[in-house]
């Protein structure tokens, strides 16, 4: 089968390129039709691969692609989840090639070439590995489990309609395990399996001062400037040790034992290479924790965007009436995103000086998630990675979020296996996103091993 997979590399890449050419940007309503086109493209490829059915299921937002191949109802069923939507490509001027015109270029990390396009790694390239792995397994009569597929179109905007879809389709989604390729490995020669995702609480704040924009000479110094005030409020959200000051924020944070921390710290990490890749002289974060811990087992608070006043060309002397910011918090077990949203709202309102009015609006969120490492699914993932890469994988905790994963457990009672093949340095959400050809092909070869080892548990 691996021979077949290798000899089909060019065709796989050609098909993936066609998929990547469809600008399936879920956040941008101008791309609504492209969302449907992307869903139809993947539907067609699932049928070509030999799935029994592949349907486009409407939701209140972008559609879900659902597909299944039931070879024997007595066998276990793997439910593959992923997303065909992508992040907006902006800022366009920072791309070295057009975001929706995929090209292969080599990089220091990917000497055998990487596919440059928005969605190459997150997540179109990774869901396409599953389609091709299924095609290969069916061709070689090597499919040892039933398989169901759920590819959604709203992950990058918070999966707000997927919960409803899941609740309405519990029977259809019945399975034994969920398999997801939407995370990273440590390096191409250091395979790893992620054992957790952070949760998310995403807020937008508005600070209002005077009832209109003012002349900053006539009024400046006498009337509170909402942009100045917002900057001070935001600055106060961290103390001098990098701790978040929102009251009650850490109350439910699970502290890891020294053994657990040591085990995670045993994974290789090159701080110098990390800084060099990002072009920074120093890292920063919560005191008492390493860089990797800060980006995985610890909760965080970050401003994603801030605006107000005059930001056009040249200068305009103005004391703005309003200032805004988008603030997100990454959460860890057992923080609850609804509770944290409430705590943030209360805190942010309480710290506002009497000179301004504050509005806080929660956007979307999601709960943190941890995969049990003593489960048959995790063991199968571990063995598959070991065989696929010829090297023992390292368990890691991821820093990103896939908000729907905790909900799958709640609504379907299913655990999720994080079986991603990207690299953190693949520029996900950034200009020049890419995905290694090695990673893409390695994924296609390794996914069937998961099926093999997972079904062995049931024999």
x-or-dash string of contact with ligand BES, 428-447, rule CB under 6 A? x-------------------
b/e for 128-148, b at 16 or more Cβ within 10 A?
bbbbbbbbbbbeeeebbbbbb
Beta bridge partners of 435: 115
Contact 434, 230 (CB under 8 A): no
Please give the C-alpha separations between residue 407 and each of 318, 365, 366, 373, 412, in angstroms, as whole numbers: 46, 11, 8, 19, 8
CA distance 101 to 203: 34
207 binds, among ligand BES, Mn ion, none (CB under 5 to 8 A by kind): none
In 23-180, DSSP assigns E strands to 53-57, 64-69, 77-83, 103-105, 114-116, 146-152, 177-180
Question: Which of residues 122 and 176 has its CB atom nearest to ligand BES in the complex?
Answer: 122
- Among 34, 85, 123, 194, interactor with Mn ion by CB under 5 A: 123
152 lies in the site for Mn ion, by CB under 5 A = no
CA distance 241 to 285: 8
- Among 24, 43, 161, 184, interactor with ligand BES by CB under 6 A: 184
Question: Which of residues 158 and 320 has its CB atom nearest to Mn ion in the complex?
Answer: 158
195 lies in the site for ligand BES, by CB under 6 A = no
Beta bridge partners of 434: 116
Task: Name the residue number minimizing CB distance to ligand BES.
Answer: 400
Residues 387-416 that bind ligand BES (CB under 6 A): 398, 400-403
161 lies in the site for ligand BES, by CB under 6 A = no
Question: Which of residues 123 and 176 has its CB atom nearest to ligand BES in the complex?
Answer: 123
Residue with tokens 């509005």: 359
Binding part of the chain for ligand BES, among 155-163, 223-231, 287-295, 335-343 by CB under 6 A, reads: 155-163
184 binds, among Mn ion, ligand BES, none (CB under 5 to 8 A by kind): ligand BES
Question: Which of residues 34 and 433 has its CB atom nearest to Mn ion in the complex?
Answer: 433
| Dihedral sign for Cα atoms in the order 410, 412, 413, 419 | negative
Number of residues interacting with ligand BES: please give it, by CB under 6 A: 16
Residue 84, both tokens:
């065909």
Residues that bind ligand BES (CB under 6 A): 122-123, 155-156, 158, 182-184, 200, 364, 398, 400-403, 428
């Amino acid at each position: 089968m691996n021979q077949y997979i290798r000899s089909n590399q060019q065709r796989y890449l050609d098909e993936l390129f066609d998929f990547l050419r469809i600008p399936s940007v879920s956040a941008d309503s101008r791309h609504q039709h492209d969302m449907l086109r992307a869903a139809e493209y993947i539907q067609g490829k699932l049928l070509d691969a030999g799935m029994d059915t592949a349907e486009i299921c409407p939701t209140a937002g972008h559609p879900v692609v659902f597909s299944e191949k039931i070879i024997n109802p007595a066998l276990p069923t793997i439910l593959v989840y992923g997303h065909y939507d992508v992040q907006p490509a902006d800022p366009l001027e920072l791309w070295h090639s057009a975001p929706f015109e995929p090209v292969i270029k080599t990089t220091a990390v990917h000497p055998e070439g990487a596919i440059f396009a928005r969605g190459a790694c997150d997540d179109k390239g990774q869901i396409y590995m599953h389609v091709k792995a299924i095609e290969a397994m069916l061709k070689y009569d090597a499919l040892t489990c039933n398989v169901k597929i759920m590819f959604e179109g709203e992950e990058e905007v918070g999966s707000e309609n997927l919960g409803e879809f899941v609740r309405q389709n519990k029977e259809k989604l019945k399975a034994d395990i969920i398999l997801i390729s939407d995370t990273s490995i440590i390096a191409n020669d250091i395979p790893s399996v992620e054992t957790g995702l952070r949760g998310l609480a995403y807020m937008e704040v508005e600070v209002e001062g005077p009832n209109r924009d003012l002349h900053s000479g006539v009024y400046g110094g006498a009337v509170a400037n909402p942009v100045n005030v917002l900057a001070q409020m935001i600055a106060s959200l961290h103390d001098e040790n990098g701790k978040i000051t929102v009251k009650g924020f850490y109350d439910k944070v699970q502290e890891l034992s020294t053994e657990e921390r040591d085990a995670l710290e045993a994974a290789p990490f090159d701080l110098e290479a990390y800084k060099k890749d990002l072009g920074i002289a120093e890292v920063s974060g919560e005191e008492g924790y390493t860089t990797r811990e800060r980006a995985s087992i610890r909760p965080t608070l970050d401003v994603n965007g801030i605006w107000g006043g005059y930001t056009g060309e040249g200068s305009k002397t103005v004391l703005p009436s309003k200032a805004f910011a988008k603030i997100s918090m990454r959460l860890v077990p057992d923080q609850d995103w609804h509770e944290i949203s409430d705590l943030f709202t209360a805190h942010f309102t309480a710290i506002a000086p009497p000179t301004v009015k504050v509005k806080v609006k929660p956007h979307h969120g999601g709960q943190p998630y941890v995969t049990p490492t003593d489960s048959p699914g995790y063991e199968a993932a571990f063995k598959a990675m070991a065989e696929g890469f010829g090297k023992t994988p390292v368990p890691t905790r991821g820093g990103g979020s896939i908000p729907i994963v905790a909900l799958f457990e709640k609504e379907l009672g299913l655990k999720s296996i994080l079986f991603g093949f990207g690299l953190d340095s693949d520029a996900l959400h950034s200009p020049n996103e890419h995905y290694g050809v090695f990673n893409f092909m390695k994924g296609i070869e390794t996914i069937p091993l998961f099926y093999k080892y997972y079904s062995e548990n049931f024999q």
